[in-house]
Structures are given as structure tokens and as C-alpha cells.
Amino acid sequence: MTNYQWKRIVLKVGSALIAPEKKGCSSRYLLHIAKFILQCRDMDIQVILVSSGSVAAGAHFFGNIENPSLATKKAMAAAGQNEMMATWDRFFDFPAAQILLTHGDLQDKERYDSVRSTIFELLDHGILPIINENDVVTTDALKVGDNDNLSAMVAAAADADSLIICSDVDGLYDKNPNIHTDAKLIKQVAQIDQSIHDMAGGAHSSVGTGGMKTKIEAAEKATSHGLSTYIINGFKEGSFEQLIQGNNPGTIFTPYDMPMKTDLHWMTHTARAQGELVIEGDFEYPLDENSAQLTSHDLVEVRGEFSVGDTIFVRSDDGKHLAKAQANYSSCLLNFITNHEYSDDSHEFIHHTGPLISDKNIAVLEQEDRV
């Protein structure tokens, strides 16, 4: 999908572009990014900016600390967020709005829908949404952990056409280009399989946290929702010039032919499972077409604590990962059902299921669940 087909894009910019020396925000690399945003808006392309960098931007206020504590990092984020927003604001003659998110805001469906409506309202009024993870208040249980995956979740929530992720290399290579001189750039990826995940290396920049691994995860989330996803070199002005001309300056990941619907995508790629149901029985597949066939009679074990409506995993008693689902009963009640004889064993405990999960996706979902 070239630029003249875009109606709405999400642009993710990392810490190394915002504050490359950890001495506050710098316009060194941001000028050409701001120019790209302006050009898109002149072409009636709506832009949502996911901007890392609050911790890196605020680090210089706290002296030369090699290994800052978690509390210090949160304080750095609080101080740096203001400076980062002020820096972006200087580039534009139109208003920008700050949206700080945690994973808790996205995995709760009501709050997720609220985020969607807020973004749409800002865009309708010509205001640039600038989104970042709320590092000041987030905890391990509530954080996404990297803005690559956050940008993909935001892109899906905002019904964007494309996701553009800025990196410190030109795109995805068949091997680490920082080590291998014969590494070749992969210009297009039609399907993200295990071989693509295997190509992903770690982060090389001194201030970034999302290496190629998280960018591939983000691309998988975005393409499954029907978004073209680009990984480009954000340090090169030419990358953005090529995008404006309709060319691919890095690696493009093409979208699914049949994208997931919004609610199904949210359950699969954004909502975190709060527990598990272990089931047995020769029930008919697929679960997403006839979830009512799973009853309390099939229930073997309940793992974790969850409430009505929470997202859960459904596994077979031999360990096979069957689906993500929404529970109709709490873990407390389901534990009671499994531990006591109940007069009515036909309680439907699945309200809605996600798609069947293939072997190659089990690891991805479990990795996401640990983030």
C-alpha cells in the first residue's frame, strides 16, 4: 500500500531518535520526521504518533546514573514526558494531544473502546495524537513493555491503514547486519512464520528497548488486522522521502488477505488471559463456531483467578492450546463446580472464543502473555 492510498497511519518513533545522547530531546533526527508528518497531513493523511523517549529525555535531570532504580526511571519519565511533548510541539503549527496508556487501558474492553473514541475525536478535529506508555504509573502486570507492540495495538484500535516503525537499521535482514557484512535486506514479507521470527535480533541502540524481535511481533499484530507494516531506518531522511514518493525504503509486511475483525483481534493480540480452563471430551471443533458445546461437564481444572467477562485460555487436558475465550463464570464459581456435584451440568462457561490457535502462534501468544 503506497502513500496515496493511505487515509490514516501510525508512526512509531523510538528513544534513540528522540534523545540520542540522553541529554534531553534533540531535533537532530526529529526534523525530517516532523517534515514527513506535515507532508502526510498536507495530503489529507491522518497521522497518529507513538513516541518513546520520556525516560531518555528526562535522564539528564538526574545526573550520570549508570543503573537507575525503578523509582528513578519513573521520575525520569515524569520529567522527560513534558520535555518530549514540548519538543514535538515546537515543530508544528497545529495542536497535539498527549495520550498516556498502560496495557490495563487496552486489555479492558470498555477502556479500549474509550481510547478508540478519543483518538477518532482528536483526528476529526485535526489534532495530532501523541501516544506513549505511561511509565510513571505502570507496573509489571500492566505494562506493554515496548512501544513497538504498543504501536501495533494502537494502530488496530485506530483502524489505521499502515503502521510505520522506525528502526536504527534499514529493515529486516536475513542475518544481523551489525555482525555480518553479507547480510541482505528483505524488502517484502508476505507471511510472518517462524523463520521470520528467527531472523529477529536484539536491540543495538543504547537507549532503545525494542529490538527487531518486538518489531516483528508488532508487524504480526498489525498485518493480522489488515495493516501494511513498514520497518524503516528512522535516522535517514531519505527513508521518509521515499515513503512520500510511494516507495518502500525498508521492509514491508503485507496484510492478511482476510483480516481479523476488531473484537477478535483485540482478544487475540491485546487482551491478556487472566487464567485457564482445562477441559476434556470429544467435543466438535472449531470452538469459535459452537462454544456452547463446552459445559461444566467438560471442565477438568481451573487455573488462576478471573471474573465474569475476563479473557482466559482454554486448553485440553493433554496440554493443547485450543483458544482464547471470555468466561461466563468466575474462577471461584467454576472451582466450586469442579469440586462439587452439581445438579445441572450444562452450564455454558464460554461466552466468546477467539480463533483456533495454530502451533506456530502458541509461542507468540504465550510470549505476549508474559510481557
Count of the separate structural domains present in the chain: 2
Do residues 253 and 170 both lie within one domain?
yes
Do residues 125 and 252 both lie within one domain?
yes
SS3 track for 1-62: CCHHHCCEEEEEECHHHHCCCCCCCCCCCHHHHHHHHHHHHHCCCEEEEEECCHHHHHHHHH
Do residues 295 and 220 both lie within one domain?
no
Do residues 228 and 277 both lie within one domain?
no
pLDDT digits (tens, 9 = 90+) for 209-246: 447 888 999 999 899 888 999 999 999 999 999 999 99
Give the separation between CA 131 and CA 193, rounded to whole angstroms. Answer: 29
The pTM of this model reads 0.77
Question: Read out DSSP for 76-132?
Answer: HHHHHHHHHHHHHHHH-SS-EEEEEE-HHHHHSHHHHHHHHHHHHHHHHTT-EEEEE
Do residues 246 and 282 both lie within one domain?
no
Do residues 171 and 309 both lie within one domain?
no
Nearest to 193, CA basis, from 363, 16, 20, 18: 363
pLDDT at 18 over 50: yes
Q: What is the pLDDT of residue 209?
A: 40
Do residues 164 and 261 both lie within one domain?
yes
Domain enclosing residue 282, as ranges: 273-370
How many CA atoms within 13 Å lie on the side-chain side of 217? 28
CATH code of 323's domain? 2.30.130.10
Nearest to 52, CA basis, from 255, 240, 209, 272: 209
SS3 184: coil
Q: Is the peptide bond between 177 and the residue preceding it cis, with omega within 30 degrees of 0?
A: no
Do residues 115 and 257 both lie within one domain?
yes
Q: What is the pLDDT of residue 206?
A: 42
pLDDT grade for 364, boundaries at 50, 70 and 90: very low
Do residues 7 and 115 both lie within one domain?
yes
